Amino acid sequence: MNKRVYGVIGISSIMANWNADFSGYPKTTSDGSVFGSDKALKYPMKKMWENEGEKVLYIKSLKLSNDKKKEDITLVPRSLKERYEQLFQIEDLSKSTDAGQIIRNLFKAIDVKNFGATFAEKPSNISITGAVQIGQGFNKYEDTSTEEQQILSPFRDASKDSQKEEEAKSSTLGTKIVSKEAHYVYPFTINPSAYQGYVEMGVTEGYTEEDYLRFKKTALTSATSYATNSKVGCENELAVFVETKPEVYLPNLSEYVRFEKIPNITKEKGSAEKESENRPESKAANEIYLQFGALLKDLADSILKVEIYYNPYTTKLVADIPEAKRFNIFTQKEV
């Protein structure tokens, strides 16, 4: 692939918890800014690839473990070595003597092909810088708040160390913590030349157009498709792909994205307003401003293509970007 790609991926979180810290609350920086880590975005992408039958190396997989001393059978995660052996049907990685074959296998995993890998397993010590780099996704909605819900369990606490007899007879309580509303925006870049050295070694064909299209498809849908208990309510709501010539270097585009709520103003509709009701954006509750149009205009000769995917049912998009095509992020049809 003879080009670079810059862009952003936007995730909405409505009564959901997109990325919790160890306390269960949405992740924040020291100044209280809510953000999601790159791992929070990569994980549903990996799960989607895995569900589609792709080879995914860096994802939890479980195996049965029989503890003969305790006579217990439990589920435990595989080690990286065990996962590699399972994925590539290798009997014992430690006996491998072909370092080139190990690297070739790593590049067959779609997550490694995109995000790179650190593979320190005997007999190799390999570090691959990924062609796709994703930054931290900061919440752009200033009025975000956290809700804490108490959950009643259908079971009593039967543990021997219950402090009170009455507590043991009662159903236990759990807690679910969610953001009432948050809108995360992640920056990303794709640099195919990151694999040039491996291409010269003959262990990969490099990052191809097909690789980019598979990443693009997953970037548009993986959060919406990943519906766990805490992630129900998290959806893909924005994605921008700016394709440039290889020698072009753009800044972090997420810094040029602004999110605002549209005030809910009730007034008598005139004929023009009634006519506009059929347009998706006429009922939008959100406004997303893409403020990097001037930058792209100044680099117009080096910009190959700009595509913007967004949710037109909830969002009004404000962007002055020359020749940018707009698409419905759910139907992926041009709007």
Cα 178 to Cα 259: distance, rounded to the nearest angstrom? 20
Q: State the sign of the Cα–Cα–Cα–Cα dihedral 73, 77, 82, 84.
A: positive
In angstroms, rounded to a whole number, what is the distance separating the alpha carbons of residues 108 and 194? 16
User: Which is higher by pLDDT, 154 or 292?
Assistant: 292
- pLDDT at position 79 is 94
Say what the pLDDT of residue 159 is. 64
- Domain map (residue ranges) of the chain: 4-328
User: Do 100 and 201 meet the contact criterion of CB atoms below 8 Å apart?
Assistant: yes
pLDDT above 60 for 109: yes
**What average pLDDT does range 77-91 have in this prediction?**
94
Residue 263: the pLDDT is: 80
The answer to which of 6-15, 54-63, 275-284 has the lowest mean pLDDT is 275-284
Residue 3: is its pLDDT beyond 90? yes
Average pLDDT on 244-264 reads: 94
pLDDT (0 to 100) of residue 230 = 62
Mean pLDDT for the chain overall: 89
C-alpha to C-alpha distance for 121 and 79, rounded to whole angstroms: 10
**Could you tell me how far CA 331 lies from the centroid of its own chain?**
19
Q: What is the pLDDT of residue 270?
A: 52
Q: Encode pLDDT of 19-53 as tens digits.
A: 999 999 999 999 999 999 999 999 999 999 999 99
Residue 229 vs residue 59, higher pLDDT: 59
Tell which residue, 304, 305, 313, 303, has the closest CA to residue 335.
313
What's the Cα-to-Cα distance from 72 to each of 58, 62, 65, 270, rounded to whole Å? 27, 16, 8, 72
pTM of the entire structure? 0.88
Residue found under tokens 């979180």: 13
